[in-house]
Structure 1
Amino acid sequence: MRADPSRQRSLLELQTLDTTLAQLGHRQSTLPEHARLAELEAAVSATESTLLLARTEHEDVQRELRKADADVQLVRDRAERDRQRLQAGTGNAKDLQGIQHELESLARRQDVLEEAELEVMERAEAAEEQVRAAEQELATLTGEAEQVRAGRDAATADLTAQSARVAADRDRLVEVTGPDLVALYEKIRARSGSGAAPLVARRCGGCQLELHSVDLGRMRAADEDEVLRCEECGRILVRTEESGL
């Protein structure tokens, strides 16, 4: 293949732009915000589960507390009615004595129920505290996730804009270089990672190997517009002032 020397030299700039695009793409895919956001989203999910369990526990204890309170109130109401009957003095002595015994029994029963109610109240307070702690943790994690997400989006937008500018420069350079030479360059780049390399001090700038004297002799004798290839890696070799030819 033959191509004007200036077109061949443009391959080195094209290679630089391709390297820049690859670096920008790598930076975008490896932004530290990606990893941190994944951690936060996992933590948010776990905390949401914890909060759901805490709320369920709190609701269960609240129902238990309402029942305990109702049981205590039922005994209090019964005791109040008995006291009123006792104060009214209605009934014979045996009935009044029975009411007195029932009041004593109700008092003992009330003590037991109030003790149980107190235990449930303590568990209710602990459950409520767990809910508050989980809600606070969730709010903290969600807030940080929003900040990290905003930072990631801003960084992504900046890198995308940079990539777009480099891609536009590359498109203009491709037009200058020509489709035939670019097609060869792309074919080699797909295989080797880079399609062209400078020839410096008799070494290929791609594989860094020194060319054999026979190859150097052939290159010295080649016309200026002949496209040279590295015999080792296959890259297009672009002559430079330091080629050593």
Structure 2
Amino acid sequence: MTGKVTDTVNSDHPAHDPVLRGGDRDTLLTLVRVDERIRLLKARLDALPETAEVERLEEAEAARRRREIGTRRIAHDIYGTLRRLKADSARLRERRRDDIAGLRAVTDPVRRRDLRHDLEVAERRLAELREDIAREQRTLATFGHALDGAEDSREGNPGHAGDGATGHGDAGRHGDTDAGAELARARGEERAVTGEIRRQLTELAARSVRLRAALPHEILVRYERCERDQGIGAVELDGSTCRCCCIQLDTATMRRFAGTPPDRLVSCPECGVLLVRAVSSGGADHV
């Protein structure tokens, strides 16, 4: 911070500094520690390693699903190509049977020549289709388990591509199961940790409310004003260092504090937060 707080009263104006009476010091100090614990737990809740692990696994699962969708889209196209090739092959086999039957029945030389030519074309095209079908089946096999069920509604299995991918499919399904189990475990751990932190926050928040209600109105107003402006209502003075702004107070300020009655609150001249000074006896409840 570059400028000192001027609107918060310090020990130069003792008439305006709240006075701690009876158990006010213990109450305030306990409130300081309770609220500090609340801030720490909220900060931890925002940066849990368990949450980071869940997010990492969820992103990995989302990436796997995106890859699977892309692969299944490719598989759908390949299965469509295989169905078309097999349909063409079936028509050519039927055509070949008709040509062979015609050659057995027809004696006209011209007609027989045409049938032989058509038969040769059908045989040549059938050979090409067999190569095309084999290539598509090999492509299917390389995709492994991602293709399982991609075309469950198809009539028959185009070739035996599924058989070639079965081993990969089993391994892939086991991998998916392991990833799902790991994500479920991570989510369970996150729920357990966050549940415990939220339980503690609920208890601490209720305790903070009770402690605030026990403080004198003047002290509570100052505390909540500092809390609103700085995020912290009061801190324990750690030697000569303010634990809110982490600035070491100068010797003149510390001398003023030493000359201020111990039952009177003082404020940090840098950030304005209330400072609870150490006393030789007494003490607050532990949080």
Return the TM-score normalized by structure 2. 0.69
* Cα distance in 2 between the residues matched to 1:231 and 1:110: 94
CA change 1:140–1:79 in 2 (3 A) is same
Q: Determine if contact 1:5/1:225 at 8 Å carries over to the other structure.
A: no
1:125 equivalent in alignment to 2:125: no
- Displacement of 1:192: 4.3
Identify the match of residue 209 of structure 1 among 240, 249, 262: 249
Change (3 A) 1:31 1:232: closer
- Paired residue for 1:146? 184
Instruction: Return the alpha-carbon distance in structure 2 between the equivalents of residues 190 and 45 of structure 1.
Output: 41
Give the secondary-structure state (helix, strand or coil) at the position aligned to 1:85: helix
Equivalent residue pairs, number = 237
Q: Is the 8 A contact 2:99 2:115 kept in 1?
A: yes
- Aligned amino acid, residue 6 of structure 1: G
| TM-aligned CA deviation for residue 217 of structure 1 | 5.8
Tell me the equivalent position of 2:10.
Answer: none
Quote the offset at 1:241 in angstroms: 0.7
CA distance in 2: counterparts of 1:69 and 1:188, whole angstroms: 80
Higher relative contact order (Cα pairs below 8 Å, separated by 6+ residues): 2
Deviations 1:36-78 (A, max 9, x none): 2222333333322222221111111111111111111111111
2:279 aligned residue (222, 240, 243): 240
Moved more, 179-188 or 233-242: 233-242
- 3-state DSSP of counterpart to 1:4: coil
Comparing 177-186 and 66-75, the one that deviates more: 177-186
Q: Secondary structure at the match of 1:91?
A: coil
Task: Report if the CA contact (8 A) 1:188-1:194 is conserved.
Answer: yes
Q: Which has the higher helix share?
A: 1
C-alpha deviations, 1:175-219, integer Å up to 9, x for none?
222332122122224444543344676x46645536537515631
**In the alignment, which residue of structure 2 is the partner of 1:115?**
131
Is 132-141 or 95-104 further displaced after alignment?
132-141
| Corresponding residue to 1:21 among 32, 38, 41 | 38
Matching of residue 31 in structure 1 with residue 70 in structure 2: no
Structure 1, unmatched stretches of 5+, are none
Question: In the TM superposition, what is the alpha-carbon distance from 1:97 to its structure 2 partner?
Answer: 4.1
Give, in whole Å, the separation in 2 of the partners of 1:101 and 1:216: 114
AA matched with 2:220: V
Gaps of 5+ in 2: 1-17, 149-167, 282-287
- Whether contact under 8 Å (2:242, 2:268) holds in the other structure is no
Match of 2:107, SS state, is coil
1:218 maps to which of 253, 256, 259: 259
CA distance in 2, matches of 1:100, 1:200: 106
Counterparts of 1:241 and 1:197, CA distance in 2: 18
